[in-house]
Chain A
Amino acid sequence: MKIAVFGATSAIAQAACRIWAGRGAEFLLAGRSADRLEAVKGDLTVHGAQTVVVCCCDLSDTSRHAEIIEQGERAIGPFDLVLIAYGTLPDQALAETDFLQAQNAINTNFLSVVSLLTELAKRMETRHSGTLAVISSVAGDRGRQSNYVYGAAKGGLSIYLAGLRNRLFHKGVKVLTIKPGFVDTPMTAAIKKGPLFVKPAVLGAGIVRAVDRGSDVAYLPWFWMPIMWIIRSIPEGVFKRMRL
């Protein structure tokens, strides 16, 4: 299996890739830091990856996306699976008063992903095969005062993915929306951990399972599905009074 991973140094992506490596997958790893990509490459190679090609790039620069994908497919062959795993958690308080903060969060978490997906979808559509697995978030299911800038970016992404899935279904291409809850990763290092936090390895296994099953939307771990169902069901008149 030929797998491209955008944001390959994310803790969740590493956990999923380790499992795919054990199955002898071939990888294109894209990320910002050359040192870190090399560390991930070494780990996946020991775990059984056939080939690992790294691509050091800034994914917020959308002008290079087409070129990166073109070169990646030339290096390892047409992608069977793409995992988009990068993201940034903005400081909500800062983003409320500083538009640049909000803009950065929306650019990285939403617009740059749309750019990648546009290019990838074109290619997979003509091949009539492939899976696009994209990490969104439970935060995108409803806007909450504590996290709505990040939530809006991820919510936009989830809607985009639903539409893309609808379009590509007829072309034999799968689109998987991954909605993690709280994960104990470097991105959430500053947050106090409660009982709902899980390790990246749990998420990684969940992603691999969802891809294997050909799922459309995967809440990870599963218990976030009923939790978010309840949160979405609260009438707005009540919801706006709550402190969430």
Chain B
Amino acid sequence: MDDYQSWGRYPQVTQSVLGFNWRGDKLPTLSGKSILAQGFCRSYGDSCLNENNVVLSTRALDRMIAFDPASGVLRCESGVSLEQILNLAVPQGWFLPVTPGTKFVSVGGAIANDVHGKNHHRAGTFGRHVRAFELLRSDGSRRVCSERSDGGLYAATIGGLGLTGVITWAEIQLRPILNPFIEMESIKFRSLEEFFQISADSDRNFEYTVAWLDCVSSGSAFGRGIFMRGNHSRSENDKTRKIPGRQKLVVPLDFPAWALNRLSVKAFNTLYYGKQVAREKKSSVYYDPFFYPLDAVLQWNRIYGKNGLVQFQCVVPVQGGHQAIREILATIVASGQASFLAVLKEFGAISSPGILSFPRPGVTLCLDFAMRGERTLALLQRLDQMVAQAGGAMYPAKDALMRAENFKSYYPRWAEFAEYVDSQISSSFWRRVSR
């Protein structure tokens, strides 16, 4: 299998792969071809691809440079994964300031996509915690960027989809923890109204909030789900608590296309909602299953078969009512194409330094669709239009389809960003949306 395609495996492209293995190396000079730095290919669509051109893999650029256990400042190469950081930092009492739903992403990728997590309402995006990084440009210059020095390039690179240069190293401020456990609660909700109510109540007292949403059921079950919220444990006893071992499953091969169908997805959603009997449940869990439930199943994208999946993530404003998200969800339910991984969360108001950053105040919905050709594409195009009409935005890291004109309305500062794009760097996504 080609290891350098995106996580959704749609689209699949022809491109050449070169390694960028040492931070002191020069960028390759290629006549007539553009390059794009690429980490672990956890972007779903085409933002990490460079069709008919070259990707520069940073997977061997995985060295730590310096870590101060007193201040929690870590400097590392850009191909270091969040998993490596956790393995190093958690035993010393530090945690990622922001983490997405998988730890198998690189630091470079986390900056380039300005990733967010369950604590967006408290901590903002990943980019806010990046103190500095070095950017290697195709003219051979090396720019150390921070808010104070080369601030324009700093702001363009955070959320800049790898287009402004190759990030060689970054310095991140970690956040302190007392122990690796999370005090969590899960609460069932029966409607979107109830979700918004619990969400508003939770944002004050909980650092992490997120909900699983049933995107299949209609009628009285429309908009039901399970709200999860948590805080880092402050218990002294948890310092010495035994860390549970974790078995990893691997999906060894592509599932056949019929494995995921309306019936199996419906059954999953009903069982998942029903597995928690009580309305509210409290527990204390190790951080790994709380933040990264899917990482326990390696290569889970194979469940979607060889045609892959397309992911959809939007944010729409909630000021003035929940009509937009209700209509989007109704369209998804009516299509009958949704699968089991649907997530709903309210973003906070903390802004990112990134010019092209995705998170903004509103509610974000994220889910997968098995790729079934025309009808899947038609649904996503319709959703794209609905998001644009609602004044929302789609997330480039999850996207394979947004229209160029919609991209420009989602990211009104795109022309300002384009000034910072390196002339030798490009991506399939960028060529598609900047037309």
Residues of A at under 8 Å CB distance from B?
11, 14, 35-36, 39-40, 42-43, 46-47, 185-186, 189, 193, 195, 200
Contact = CB atoms under 8 A, between A and B. Distances in A.
A46 B21 contact: no
A39 B88 contact: no
Contacts of A43: 63-65
A47 B88 contact: yes
Contacts of A185: 60
A186 B24 contact: no
B258 to A, nearest CB: 25
B22 A39 contact: yes
A50 B77 CA distance: 21
> What 9 pairs between A and B have smallest CB-CB spacing?
A46-B64, A43-B63, A35-B24, A46-B67, A42-B65, A43-B64, A186-B21, A39-B63, A36-B22
B24 A36 contact: yes
Contacts of B63: 14, 39-40, 42-43
Nearest to A195: B1
B201 interface: no
B3 interface: yes
A189 B19 contact: yes
Nearest to B63: A43
Contacts of B21: 11, 186
B137 interface: no
Interface in B35-80: 60, 63-67, 77
Given A42-B66, A189-B18, 14 more contacts: A14-B63, A35-B22, A35-B24, A39-B77, A42-B63, A42-B64, A43-B63, A46-B64, A46-B88, A47-B64, A47-B88, A185-B60, A193-B3, A195-B1
B420 to A, nearest CB: 28
Nearest to A48: B88
Contacts of B77: 39
A186 B19 contact: yes
Contacts of A195: 1
Contacts of B24: 35-36, 39
Interface residues of B, number: 16
A10 to B, nearest CB: 11
Contacts of B65: 39, 42-43, 46
A39 B61 CA distance: 10
B142 to A, nearest CB: 13
Nearest to A38: B24
Interface string B1-38: 10100000000000000110111100000000000000
A200 B63 CA distance: 14
10 contacts: A11-B21, A35-B24, A39-B63, A42-B63, A42-B65, A43-B64, A46-B65, A46-B67, A47-B88, A189-B18
Chain A contact surface mostly: helix
Contacts of B67: 46
Nearest to B1: A195
Contacts of A46: 64-67, 88
Contacts of B66: 42, 46
Contacts of B60: 11, 185-186, 200
Nearest to B3: A193
Nearest to A46: B64
Nearest to B23: A39
A80 B292 CA distance: 40
Contacts of A186: 19, 21, 60
A88 B199 CA distance: 58
A42 B62 CA distance: 12
Contacts of B22: 35-36, 39
Contacts of A11: 21, 60
A195 B18 CA distance: 19
A112 to B, nearest CB: 23
Interface string B215-244: 000000000000000000000000000000
A65 B331 CA distance: 72
A194 to B, nearest CB: 10
Contacts of A189: 18-19
B328 to A, nearest CB: 40
A36 B67 CA distance: 19
A89 to B, nearest CB: 15
B248 to A, nearest CB: 14
A39 B21 CA distance: 11
A109 to B, nearest CB: 21
Listed residue (B1, B60, B63, B65) with the most chain A CB atoms within 10 angstroms of its CB: B63
A200 to B, nearest CB: 8
Contacts of B1: 195
Contacts of A36: 22, 24
A152 B359 CA distance: 58
Contacts of A47: 64, 88
A39 B88 CA distance: 17
A9 B77 CA distance: 15
A15 B22 CA distance: 15
A113 to B, nearest CB: 23
A3 B18 CA distance: 32
A73 B356 CA distance: 54
Nearest to B61: A39
B249 to A, nearest CB: 18
Listed residue (B18, B64, B65, B67) with the most chain A CB atoms within 10 angstroms of its CB: B64
Nearest to A36: B22
Nearest to A189: B19
Contacts of A193: 3
Interface string B377-419: 0000000000000000000000000000000000000000000
Nearest to B17: A189
A189 B19 CA distance: 8
B61 to A, nearest CB: 9
A182 to B, nearest CB: 14
A14 B23 CA distance: 15
A221 B88 CA distance: 26
Nearest to A34: B24
A113 B19 CA distance: 28
A223 to B, nearest CB: 15
A14 B77 CA distance: 15
